[in-house]
């Protein structure tokens, strides 16, 4: 795909956004769902699908796609459809998948249950806000193994995914790889309390992800790469949001995370690398609320869970963190601000402002910085941008204004990996006090 000059859009959000979506490019499908319904309807039951929870949906779904791949709607009606073989839907244009019923995984192969690739003007949604894919990942996880991912989009442009539930994937739930001009919203993801079950992994250009709830024990929404806006995200007993792990030739810029609510998760936000090279630049992380998370604001250029990569380190530059409130689990074990930057590539232009977080446990917390330059917390000011040893500042009193709202659906614990996870209803709220940007398809 050829991208011309980029002009930043002016969005009216809860806080000023410096790094945003790009104007001059389509966002979402080119054709309305109504127009696609008017062209052609390819109902999977006309191609051999049976809503009996046994008959394999794979071949009928592929046949319905082949009949509607140049325009129309692939309809999966109410009922339970078993899927034993995986499908790749390639080279479609101006088509949609309307998932009213539930797809349950019955096959055991690896890979991805559904791949959509090399396509344009695509929509995956539920007109009833009732559609779901149930991966029954616990059947793998109880044996200590992983299985297939649920959905992967590859080189898809001008698309949307909305009003569905992705449940208990045997591995990652939703992957958007090298995609452009997409929108993901009104989505709920429920995964087991185990690493390796990412909610949304995304990389590409000009993508808007908003009004999404994720439960898992790995990344909530992770790895955006260029001109992306991610807001109204509810990490509900999750791994939390992140960029990384990063390696060589990193090129991430103009990313905004706004209105991020994180409950009992691994982190509110983490940027992580171990060696490598390239840059993460011109990004904004605003309006974060956290409660009882292990890590809060965490930059770690020596992330030991990643194999050491060649290079002097990824340069983190021109990053703004503003209006963070709530609590961390233990401010002595893991302080709410840690900015550990590479010795060979010190961070610069880091700004931390209006940061008020306190500890659930104990009566003090600390901020830790190393090789990190900018304004706020323990960051060093000035223009030297040279390496320096770890500096720590201790906070012994709760900062003013740290108290923050909670969400009514906060989970009391993570979801198990040995029993089935129930299919939830698509929520109508994803961040305290914020109205979803788009109403549910079916109120």
Catalytic positions are 218, 291
Instruction: Answer left, alpha or beta for residue 326, where phi above 0 means left and psi between -120 and 50 means alpha.
Output: left
Apex CA 277: angle with CA 227 and CA 179, to 5°? 30
Cα 301 from chain centre: 21
Q: How many CB atoms lie within 10 A of CB 204?
A: 22
CA dihedral 356→358→364→369, nearest 10 degrees, is: -50
What DSSP designation does 309 have?
B
The partner residues of 370 in beta bridges, in order of sequence, read 340
Q: Compute and round to an integer the Cα radius of gyration of the chain.
A: 22
The residue with tokens 């908003």 is: 210
253 within 8 A of 282, measured Cβ to Cβ = yes
Backbone angles phi, psi at 67, to 5 degrees: -80, -20
The two beta strands, 131-134 and 93-99, are: unpaired
CA dihedral 18→19→24→29, nearest 10 degrees, is: -120
What DSSP designation does 401 have?
T
| Token duo for residue 92 | 């479609």
CA distances from 260 to 103, 295, 300, 399, 415 (A): 30, 14, 20, 20, 21
The residue with tokens 């040279």 is: 386
Enumerate residues 6+ apart whose C-beta is below 8 A from 207. Answer: 176, 179, 180, 181, 182, 183, 184, 224, 227, 228, 229
Q: Helix count (H) and strand count (E) of the chain? A: 3, 26
426 within 8 A of 186, measured Cβ to Cβ = yes
Give the helix, strand, coil percentages of the chain, each rounded to 5.
Answer: 5, 50, 45
Handedness of CA 49, 53, 54, 59 (dihedral sign): positive
Which stretch of DSSP H or E encloses residue 306? none
């Amino acid at each position: 795909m050829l991208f011309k000059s980029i002009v930043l859009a002016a969005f009216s959000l809860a806080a000023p956004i410096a790094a945003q979506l790009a104007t001059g490019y389509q966002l979402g499908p080119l054709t309305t769902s109504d127009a696609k319904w008017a062209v052609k309807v390819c109902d999977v039951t006309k191609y051999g699908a049976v809503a009996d929870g046994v008959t394999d949906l794979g071949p009928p779904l592929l046949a319905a796609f082949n009949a509607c791949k140049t325009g129309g709607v692939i309809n999966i009606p109410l009922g339970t459809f078993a899927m034993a073989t995986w499908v790749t839907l390639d080279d479609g244009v101006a088509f949609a998948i309307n998932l009213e019923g539930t797809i349950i995984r019955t096959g055991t192969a690896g890979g991805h249950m559904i791949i959509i690739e090399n396509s344009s003007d695509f929509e995956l949604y539920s007109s009833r806000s009732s559609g779901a894919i149930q991966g029954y990942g616990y059947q793998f996880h109880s044996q200590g193994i992983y299985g297939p991912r649920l959905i992967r989009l590859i080189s898809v442009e001008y698309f949307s995914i909305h009003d569905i539930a992705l449940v208990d994937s045997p591995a990652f739930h939703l992957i958007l790889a090298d995609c452009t001009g997409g929108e993901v919203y009104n989505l709920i993801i429920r995964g087991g309390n185990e690493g390796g079950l990412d909610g949304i992994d995304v990389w590409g250009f000009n993508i808007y992800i908003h009004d999404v709830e994720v439960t898992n024990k790995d990344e909530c929404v992770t790895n955006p790469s260029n001109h992306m806006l991610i807001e109204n995200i509810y990490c509900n007993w999750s791994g939390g949001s992140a960029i990384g792990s990063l390696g060589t030739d990193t090129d991430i810029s103009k990313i905004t995370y706004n209105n991020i609510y994180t409950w009992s998760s691994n982190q509110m936000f983490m940027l992580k690398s171990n060696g490598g090279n390239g840059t993460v630049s011109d990004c904004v992380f605003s309006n974060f609320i956290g409660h009882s998370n292990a890590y809060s604001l965490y930059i770690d250029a020596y992330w030991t869970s990643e194999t050491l990569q060649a290079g002097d380190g990824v340069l983190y530059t021109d990053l703004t963190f503003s209006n963070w409130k709530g609590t961390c689990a233990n401010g002595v074990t893991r302080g709410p601000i840690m900015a550990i930057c590479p010795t060979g590539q010190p961070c610069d232009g880091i700004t931390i402002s209006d940061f008020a977080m306190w500890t659930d446990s104990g009566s003090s917390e600390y901020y830790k910085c190393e090789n990190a330059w900018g304004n706020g917390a323990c960051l060093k000011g000035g223009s030297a941008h040279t390496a320096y040893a770890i500096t720590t500042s201790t906070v012994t009193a709760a900062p003013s204004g740290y108290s923050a709202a909670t969400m009514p659906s906060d989970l009391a614990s993570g979801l198990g990996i040995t029993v089935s996870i129930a299919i939830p209803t698509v929520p109508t709220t994803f961040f305290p006090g914020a109205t979803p940007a788009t109403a549910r398809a079916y109120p």
